[in-house]
Amino acid sequence: MIGDSVYKEKHWDRNDTISTCFQLSPESAFSISNRWKDRSVGWSERLIYPLAHSAIDSNYTTSASLWALSSFSWEYGLSEFLSKCLAKEPSKLIQQGILDYYIRDLRIKGYCGDKWIDIHKLAIKYKLECITVEEVKLLAVPLKTDNSGTSPKNSTKPEAEEYQWDKLYGEFDLLTDVGFNEVFQFYENQGYSRESEKFWQGCYKKTTSRKLSSFLNVISQSEKLDFYDLHNAFKQIPESWKNKVSVKNSWNTAIKYIASRFPQRFTEIYERDYFLGGFIINENTNTAIKEGVIKGLSNSVDIESARALFSFAHYSASNLTITEAQDLIDYGLSRLEKFLDEDYADGSWNEQSQLPKDLPHAVASYIYANLGSPHAEERWRAVHAVTRLYNLNCKNEINLLIECYSKGLTQSFIPTKYEFYDLHAKQYLLVALTRCANDCPELLVNNKSLFATIALNKNQGILFQYYAKKICLLLQQYSSDCFEKSTYEKIEKACITQYSTINEKQYSYQTDTPWHKADTLGVLSNVWFAHDFDRYWFAPLGRVFGVSSSQVQDLAKNILSNLWGMELKSSHLKDSRAELWRGRRNSRDTSHSHSSYPNIDDYSFYISYHLLLEVASQLLESMPVIHDEDYDVNCWEEWLNRHLILNKDHLLLSELRDAIPVRKSDWINEEYNKDWLWQISETDFIEHLIVQDNSSTWLNVEGSWDEYKDSRNEHVTFSSVLVPKELSQSLLLTTINFDNHMHECYLYNYCESDYGHRNSENFQCKEWLIQEGEHNDIESNDPNVGTIYAQPYKLRKHVTELINVTSSVDEKTFSLSSDHSICLKNKYWSEDKPSDSDSYVSSGKPALASLKFLQLICDKLNVDIAIQVNIKRTFTGSYRNKDDKLGYIPRYSKTFILSGDGKLRDTRKSYQLR
C-alpha cells in the first residue's frame, strides 16, 4: 500500500521497505520486488540496490548467482555490490568472471571516471587480471563538460578580492542576541553572492574557541537563522576546536535545541543522511538529537502530516525492542486493514500461493518472471542474467530456471490482476540457453529429455521447437550417446518440411488448408488480433504455403478457443494492464507498425504473436512449402529466419558491441564556438584516417562514426576503392575538380555497380569490400546493444582469389592465412540507446585495415588504393534552428592515394607510413 501511495521517496523509503521485507522473509522480498516492478511501483533501477545488497549480506546463496542481478538496470550501488561479491566468492575463476563482466559493462557504455581506479585496486587486492595502468590513467579522467558558453578559450578569471569581514561586521557584538541579529540582518542585506563560508569563518575568528559556547547558544536560539543557516554555521567551525571538552558539552546542548526547533529535518530520510554529518561531534550527539526531536514533535501539530509521521516512524524504528516492534507492526496493520478493500493492489494473501523454497529459488524465479515481462528491454536483461548464471557455473540456478519452465512460475511473483506472459518466459529462456549451449552444453545434459520433448512437440510455437532443437544438436555434439539414434533422427527433422516443395510463384499460388478442405473448423469466434497482424504477419506466413491470410487467422482462432481454451467475452483481447500502459509517459511504447516489434507487448500483441508461431507449426506439419521460382528461395526458410529471436544462434548481438574509443577529437573538450561548423583543418583528416595500435599502423577504410557532445555532432565517413596505378593521380585530381549541385564527389561513382546503375567512366575503379548480412529488429530492443547495427565489411571475391584470409566466427575480424595476423577488423560501438528517439548519441561502425595488408593488396593486384574521408559537422537541438537559414552545408572531403610502398598522398602532401 505504501509503495503504491507514496509520491516521493523522502516521505517513505521504499529501499528500506525492501530491506525490511528481506529481513522478515528473504524469499518474499524478491516476489514483492517483482510485483512492484510489474505494476510500475517505485523505480526498479533503485529498488534492485536493497534487494541485491540484502541478499549478498545474508550469505544465503552464492555471490556468483547474485551477480546475475547486475544485468538489470541499476541507478547506483553496483560498484559496492561488486566489492561484496568479490569478497565473498571463494573461486578465483569466478571472481575473474565477475570482474570481467563489470569492466566490459563500463567500457561499452563509455564510462570515464574514478571507478577505474577502484577497479584496479580490487584487481590488485584479489590478484585478478584487469586493464593496464595506462588504460586506467586514460579512463579515470572524466570528459570535461562545457558550461562556459561562448567565453574565449584563454580567458582568465579576475583574482577574488579579499573578504573584508572586519570592515563589514567588526562593530557588532556577536555574543548578544541583539548584536548577532543585527550583524546577520546586515549580512543578508548584502545581496548575492554573500559568501556564506567566509561570513561564518569570520564569526569564529572574532569569537575564538574560548567563547564558542556562548556563541553556539546565541545562534541556536536566533529566530533569524533557519535550518540551512545553522547547518552552514556548524560546518565552518574549525576542526581543531572540536576536541575541547567545553566545546563538546555546549555543542550537544545547542544541537538538542536545534533538533527541537527543526525535528523534521533530522528525521526525513534523505535530508537526514545529507545534513547529519555537519552536526555530529561524538556519540552523545545522537542522543541529543533524539531528545530534541521527541521534544519538538511532542509540542507540534506537524506530526499529523504523512510526511512527518512516516519520517519519524523510520527514525525511531531502530530504538524499538523486538517485542515492541512486533506489537507495533501488529497494531499498525490492524489499523490499516480496516481501510483496505479485499482486492486492493495484489489483494489479501492467498494461502495457496507458495513462496520460493529458498533464496536461490527466489533469484531464479525473479529472473524467470522478467523473461516473461511485457517490456522487451526487461526480457533481454533477463536473458543476460541467464547467460551470466551459466557462464559463472551456477548449475543449481540453471536447473531451477528449467524447473520454472516445466512447473510454472510461483504465483507470488505475479500481480493478481495481471496476466503473466508465460509463453514469452519459456521462449526467451530457450533463447538464452541456446546461446549458452553454444559455448558448452554441459550444464544442460541432465535436462536432455525435456529439450527433446520440446523439440518434437508440434503443438506449440515453432520457435520453441527451433531453439530446443538447437540445444539438442549441441548436446549430441558434446556427447555422441546423448540421445538414442531414433530420437536424434526425429530431432534433426524438426522445423523442416517433410513434403516435397512446390515450385510456384509465391504471390500467385493459392490453395486451401487441410482443415478448410475438410471443413472441420466449425463456427469460430470473432477475434480482433493485434494491429496490422492480418496483412503484415498472417499474410506472409500464408504465402509460404499458398494460403490466404483469412485462413491463417481461422487457424489462429481455432487454437485460441479449442486448444488454449480461452473464453472470450468480446472480440477484443482485453488487456489487464491497459490502464498501466495509458499512464506511461510514452504511451506509444505499446504501438507498432507493419511487421515491426513494439517496445512493450500489450496483451493483444502477445497473444497474436504466439498464435502466429503455433499456426506456423501446424502448417509446416500439414502442408508443403513453396520454393519461389522468381527468387530461387525456400519461402519457409526465409520466413523462419525473419522471425528468429537471435541473429546468430551462437552469439548475442550485444556481444558484438565494442568498447567506446577512449581517445576523442580535440573539439570534444573545447568550449562552444559559433564557428565550430567550419573549423575543420587538414590534420583532422589524417588524425581520423590513421590509427596507431601498439606497434602497428591501421587505416579506417570503410564505415562511419558520429561523435556527439553538447548539441554538436561530427559525422565522419570513410570509403575506399582500388584504382589502377597509372590512373590514381587522375582520380585524385578528378575528385578535387568534381562539380555537381551537391558539391560532393563519391569514389563509388567511378566503380562498376553491382546493380549496373552507375555510368561507365573513362577509367574503372573497383570496390574491394562489401557489407553483407541482415538482422531483425528484435535484438535491437536489448539495452546492451546500444544503437549498433552489426553488418560486417568483408573482402570481395577478386581480392580473396589472390590473398587467402580466414574470418573469425563472429565475422568481425579477418586474418591472413600465411601468418594468422589480423588484417581487417570491424568495430561496432555506441553509447546507450537514448530513451528519446530524437536524441543524439555517439556511435561508430568503422572498418579498419592494417597498413601491411593494404600494401599486400597493392602489390598482389597491381593497384593503388584511393581512400576518401568525409567530415560533416552539425548543430542539434536548440542550436540547429539558428542555422536553418544557411540551408544545406556540404561535407568537407579529402581523398588520399595509398601505394604499395606505404606512401599516402593527397594533391599537396605525401606521408610515409610505417
pLDDT in tens, 731-752: 998 888 775 545 678 898 888 7
Instruction: Name the packing angle between helices 395-407 and 448-456 (round to 10°).
Output: 40
Which segment of 45-54, 101-110, 328-337, 876-885 scores lowest on mean pLDDT? 876-885
Query: pTM higher than 0.75, yes or no?
Result: yes
For 392-401, the pLDDT digits (tens) are 999 999 999 9
Give me the chain's average pLDDT, please. 89
Rounded CA gap, 825 and 845, in Å? 10
Going by their DSSP bridges, the two strands 793-795 and 805-807 should be labelled as unpaired
Query: Scanning the structure block, which residue is given the C-alpha cell 514483492?
Result: 32
Q: Which one-letter amino acid corresponds to residue 800?
A: T
**Quick one: pLDDT at residue 344?**
75
* Residue 704 DSSP SS3: strand
**Quick one: pLDDT at residue 24?**
87
**Is the confidence at residue 290, as pLDDT, over 70?**
yes
* Residue 859 DSSP SS3: helix
CB atoms inside a 10 Å sphere around CB 215: 22
Nearest one of 835, 374, 267, 318 to 598, comparing CA atoms: 374
Give the mean model confidence (pLDDT) for residues 483-495: 96
Q: Which three cell numbers stand for residue 277?
A: 554529518
**Quick one: pLDDT at residue 902?**
96
CB atoms inside a 10 Å sphere around CB 804: 10
Q: Which one-letter amino acid corresponds to residue 229?
A: D
Q: Mention every residue, 6+ apart, whose C-beta is less than 8 A from residue 371.
A: 379, 382, 383, 386, 424, 425, 428, 429, 432
Q: Residues of the chain with pLDDT > 70: what percent?
A: 90
**Quick one: pLDDT at residue 432?**
98
* Sign of the dihedral through C-alpha 417, 422, 423, 429: positive
CA atoms within 13 A on the CB side of 205: 11
Which segment of 272-276, 316-320, 630-634, 817-821 scores lowest on mean pLDDT? 272-276
**Is the confidence at residue 878, as pLDDT, over 60?**
no
pLDDT band of residue 143 (cuts 50, 70, 90) is low
For 772-806, the pLDDT digits (tens) are 876 778 999 999 999 998 999 999 999 999 999 99
Q: Nearest 10 degrees: CA dihedral of 490, 491, 495, 497?
A: -20
For 448-465, the pLDDT digits (tens) are 999 999 999 999 999 999
How far, rounded to the nearest angstrom, does the alpha carbon of residue 483 sit from its chain's CA centroid?
39
How far, rounded to the nearest angstrom, does the alpha carbon of residue 725 sit from its chain's CA centroid?
48
pLDDT band of residue 688 (cuts 50, 70, 90) is very high
The long-range contacts involving 760-767, CB below 8 angstroms and separated by at least 24 positions, are 763/723, 763/724, 763/727, 763/730, 763/731, 765/721, 765/722, 765/723, 765/731, 765/866, 766/721, 766/722, 766/723, 766/796, 766/798, 766/863, 767/721, 767/722, 767/796
Please, where are the H alpha helices in 392-522? 395-407, 422-439, 448-456, 462-478, 485-493, 514-518
Rounded CA gap, 600 and 227, in Å? 46
Which segment of 23-32, 86-95, 186-195, 255-264 scores lowest on mean pLDDT? 186-195
**Is the confidence at residue 427, as pLDDT, over 50?**
yes
DSSP state for residue 96 in the 8-state scheme: H
**Quick one: pLDDT at residue 304?**
61
Residue with the bigger pLDDT between 712 and 320: it is 712
pLDDT band of residue 724 (cuts 50, 70, 90) is very high
**Quick one: pLDDT at residue 425?**
98
Give the mean model confidence (pLDDT) for residues 533-545: 96
**Quick one: pLDDT at residue 16?**
83
Asked if residue 482 lies in contact with residue 445, where contact means CB atoms within 8 angstroms, the answer is yes
Rounded CA gap, 867 and 211, in Å? 78
**Is the confidence at residue 520, as pLDDT, over 90?**
yes
Peptide bond just before 193 cis, omega within 30 deg: yes
**Quick one: pLDDT at residue 270?**
65
* Residue 82 DSSP SS3: helix
**Is the confidence at residue 540, as pLDDT, over 80?**
yes
> SS3 for 226-281, per residue?
CHHHHHHHHHCCCHHHCCCHHHHHHHHHHHHHHHHHCHHHHHCHHHHHHHHHHCCC
What are the DSSP calls for 606-633, one per residue?
HHHHHHHHHHHHHHHHHSPPEEETTTTE
Q: Mention every residue, 6+ apart, whose C-beta is less than 8 A from residue 281.
A: 242, 247, 248, 251, 252
Going by their DSSP bridges, the two strands 843-844 and 633-634 should be labelled as unpaired
Residue with the bigger pLDDT between 150 and 340: it is 340
> Where is 204: in which H helix or E strand?
helix 196-207
Query: Scanning the structure block, which residue is given the C-alpha cell 526498479?
Result: 44
Q: Which three cell numbers stand for residue 777?
A: 529488429
* Residue 456 DSSP SS3: helix
Asked if residue 18 lies in contact with residue 29, where contact means CB atoms within 8 angstroms, the answer is yes
**Is the confidence at residue 533, as pLDDT, over 50?**
yes
**Quick one: pLDDT at residue 887?**
64
**Quick one: pLDDT at residue 152?**
35
Rounded CA gap, 870 and 321, in Å? 72
